[in-house]
Amino acid sequence: ATDFLDRVGSSQQHCDRSMMEVMQLIQADPMARLSDTAAARLVGVERTTMLRRFKRQAGMTFRAYKNWTALKHASRLAQKGEA
């Protein structure tokens, strides 16, 4: 996790605001169904453009980021005894 946070922190020097919006949307509700197509539509770009820009900003693919965020969320719930 620290390795990922280091990558995100360093990539924020070249911040892509629309991709940060998508990342924040995913973090706000990690279990929500959000397709790459829907995310692209939200920020007003084509799907392939969004996927390329997302990977450059996050340091991982859209799907990997969604999975990582969902696992992190599930882990927090399990620690609280809510899972």
Which pLDDT score is estimated for 80?
87
Which pLDDT score is estimated for 75?
92
What the block records as the tokens of 46 is 């084509």
DSSP-assigned letter for residue 45: S
Torsion sign, CA atoms 12, 14, 19, 21: positive
3-state secondary structure of 24: helix
Q: Could you read off the pLDDT tens digit of each residue along the chain, which spans 83 residues?
A: 555 555 555 444 568 999 999 999 999 999 999 999 999 999 999 999 999 999 999 999 999 999 999 999 999 989 888 65
